[in-house]
């Protein structure tokens, strides 16, 4: 018995196109699944002034843990006030590490190296835990290098903490800078200033004072004054700096023009005992001596 072949139904052009499209989509899906996924850990960090993670990355600080290999990855949920953001790089929170002080100006440019761009909501700059400046990017993508000019930073030793808040995720990136801030961005002293105070020679109730310049820059300088009691001690002291000294900031002392007095807790000195105050002033360091009275 002869078999009868049933006629095939011709496939329409539209049907053939649909099958082709489906085959291409299936192939594309297979490639995407099989391909290695991009890392979500590569983003950005502050390179100038050097942040803690940058110091680890460049080898200026050792024993930093894995952050030395990926300083751009200090990422954690928004809202933290820790240098690590509370994430996996906890070495950045270790205050026992001798983090070098970075020379920072009171009007400083901060530079970010961006490895992978993210839509950004805000950049927040804190000084010693207090919000100093917020820069709102409104969700735009930053370029590969981002610079921020931060003004009116306080002088002295401070910790600058920065949050880069991402617009389309719950995370932020974190950086800390251990700063030594001066109007001219002078470097921090690397060693304690040498002692130049002469032995006390005053009689009962007298005191002596000696000035040491720690740093100077164009238009200003930082100095310290060591006050030493005479043979019978003092209960309060006042030093008089040379005429023309223009003090802009003083610590461990109370300034009035070119005179600086004790602040109570450091006013009473036993015989031969010393205390030190520091200050920042405009102009050039004085060449004449500092006088002391009790």
- Segment among 5-14, 126-135, 280-289 with least mean pLDDT: 5-14
Look at residues 208, 287, 211 and name the one whose alpha carbon lies nearest to residue 244. 287
Q: What percent of the chain clears pLDDT 70, i.e. is strictly above it? A: 80
Residue 226's DSSP bridge partners are 210, 276
Q: Give the Cα separation of 88 and 85 in Å (integer).
A: 9
Phi, psi of 29 (to 5 degrees): -65, -40
Average pLDDT, the chain: 83
Q: Which CATH number does 207-293 carry? A: 2.60.40.290
Quick one: CA dihedral 134, 140, 141, 146, positive or negative?
negative
pLDDT at 90 over 90: yes
CA-nearest of 16, 67, 17, 65 to 45 is 67
The mean pLDDT value for 113-129 works out to 93
User: Where does the pLDDT of residue 110 fall: very low under 50, low under 70, confident under 90, or very high at 90 and above?
Assistant: very high
Whether pLDDT at 176 is above 60: yes
How far is 238 from 256, CA to CA, in rounded Å? Answer: 10
Cα distance between residue 161 and residue 166, in whole Å: 16
Lowest-confidence region among 8-17, 166-175, 230-239: 8-17
pLDDT of residue 252: 84
Statement: residue 126 has pLDDT above 90? yes
203-227 pLDDT tens trace: 346 899 999 888 787 788 888 899 9
Per the CATH hierarchy, to which homologous superfamily does domain 44-182 belong?
A: chitin-binding protein cbp21 (2.70.50.50)
pLDDT > 90 in the chain, percent: 53
Instruction: Report the pLDDT value the prediction gives residue 287, as an integer from 0 to 100.
Output: 82
Residue 97 contacts residue 88 (beta carbons within 8 Å): no
What is the model's pLDDT at position 286? 86
Q: Where exactly are the structural domains of the chain? A: 44-182, 207-293
What CA–CA distance (Å, rounded) separates 250 from 33? 63
Give the pLDDT mean for 126-154: 95
Say whether pLDDT at 284 is over 60: yes
Above 70 in pLDDT, residue 40? Answer: no
Q: Is the pLDDT of residue 74 over 70?
A: yes
- pLDDT at residue 117, as a whole number: 82
């Amino acid at each position: 018995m002869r078999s009868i072949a049933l006629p095939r139904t011709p496939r329409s052009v539209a049907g053939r196109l649909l099958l082709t499209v489906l085959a291409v989509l299936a192939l594309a899906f297979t490639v995407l699944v099989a391909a290695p996924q991009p890392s979500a850990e590569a983003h950005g960090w502050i390179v100038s002034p050097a942040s803690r993670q940058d110091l680890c990355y460049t080898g200026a600080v050792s024993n930093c843990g894995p952050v030395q290999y990926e300083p751009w990855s200090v990422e954690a949920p928004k809202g933290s006030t820790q240098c690590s953001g509370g994430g996996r790089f906890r070495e950045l929170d270790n205050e026992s590490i001798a983090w070098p002080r970075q020379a920072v100006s009171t009007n400083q440019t901060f530079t970010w190296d961006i490895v992978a761009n993210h839509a950004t909501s805000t950049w927040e700059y804190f000084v010693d835990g207090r919000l100093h400046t917020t820069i709102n990017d409104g969700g735009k993508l930053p370029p590969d290098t981002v610079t921020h000019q931060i003004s009116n930073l306080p002088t002295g030793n401070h910790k600058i903490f920065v949050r880069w808040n991402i617009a389309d995720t719950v995370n932020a990136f974190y950086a800390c800078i251990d700063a030594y801030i001066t109007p001219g961005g002078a470097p921090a002293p690397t060693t304690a200033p040498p002692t130049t105070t002469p032995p006390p020679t005053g009689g009962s109730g007298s005191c002596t004072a000696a000035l040491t310049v720690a740093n100077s820059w164009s238009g200003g300088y930082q100095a310290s004054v060591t006050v030493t009691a005479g043979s019978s001690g003092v209960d309060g002291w006042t030093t008089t700096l040379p005429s023309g000294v223009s003090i802009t900031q003083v610590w461990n002392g109370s300034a009035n023009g070119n005179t600086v007095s004790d602040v109570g807790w450091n006013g009473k000195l036993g015989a031969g005992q010393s205390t030190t105050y520091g200050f920042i002033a405009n102009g050039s360091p004085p060449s004449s001596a500092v006088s002391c009275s009790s």
